[in-house]
Amino acid sequence: MTEPLKIGVIVGTTREGRFADVVTEWFMDKTASRSAFKFDVIDLRDHVLPHFEEAMAPAYAEPSEGAKGKWNDLLKSYDGFIVVTPEYNHSIPGVLKNAFDYAYTGWRRKPLGIVGYGPSGAMRAAEHLRVIAINFGMVPVRGAVHIAGADFFANMTERDPKAFPEHIDPTLDELLGDMEFWGNLTKPALKA
């Protein structure tokens, strides 16, 4: 039996009152019995990075001091990532983009999945995130979860992770299937 894939679930916003906590809890509850994975939540609130102003891009010189070096070292310990993100101004939150900018080897050759939420399910943010991931040599998977429209608005007041409708579950299954396939395919390349 193969070892479970270690997947970091990145909470992609730090905003006060964020809905990301509800979506992340839903995701973790729904995936608790998936033996092919070991999921860890990586909350960007716990990894405060200054605005990116390094002299060199991390592809050429990895940040090694303080929080910047610890961030990349943390990312290196994972086989892939799923980002839980809203959509801000038709794109991803700035704090999430900054977190990508501060690493290179930690992202490289790993699958990236997306769980988006908001009025449009973060569709445009997901497309931007996929392009960013490609720049890091990642494999952005096709499967994704988009909690949108009535499914999103119906839960805005209650904020109940168990209140999302079951018709979202097949998209989660597709996302996890893609993550398992690509995670097992790319894992040997992480040692190269």
pLDDT at 41: 98
Token digits of residue 46: 């716990």
pLDDT tens-digit profile, the chain (192 residues): 589 999 999 999 999 999 999 999 999 999 999 999 999 999 999 999 999 888 888 888 888 777 788 999 999 999 999 999 999 999 999 999 999 999 999 999 999 999 999 999 999 999 999 999 999 999 999 999 999 999 999 999 999 999 999 999 999 999 999 999 999 999 998 876
pLDDT at 23: 98
pLDDT at 69: 84
pLDDT at 192: 64
Pick the closest to residue 12 from 90, 104, 103, 84 (CA basis).
84
Token digits of residue 26: 């839903």
The residues with which 175 forms a beta bridge, in sequence order, are: none
The structure's pTM equals 0.96
**CATH label of the domain that carries residue 115:** 3.40.50.360
Pick the closest to residue 37 from 142, 183, 145 (CA basis).
183
Domain count within the chain: 1
Domain coverage including residue 159:
5-51+58-191
C-alpha to C-alpha distance for 67 and 69, rounded to whole angstroms: 6
C-alpha to C-alpha distance for 140 and 135, rounded to whole angstroms: 11
**Residue 170 phi, psi (nearest 5):** -60, -30
Pick the closest to residue 27 from 190, 133, 176 (CA basis).
176
pLDDT at 56: 84
Cα→Cα distances 192→39, 82, 108, Å: 24, 23, 11
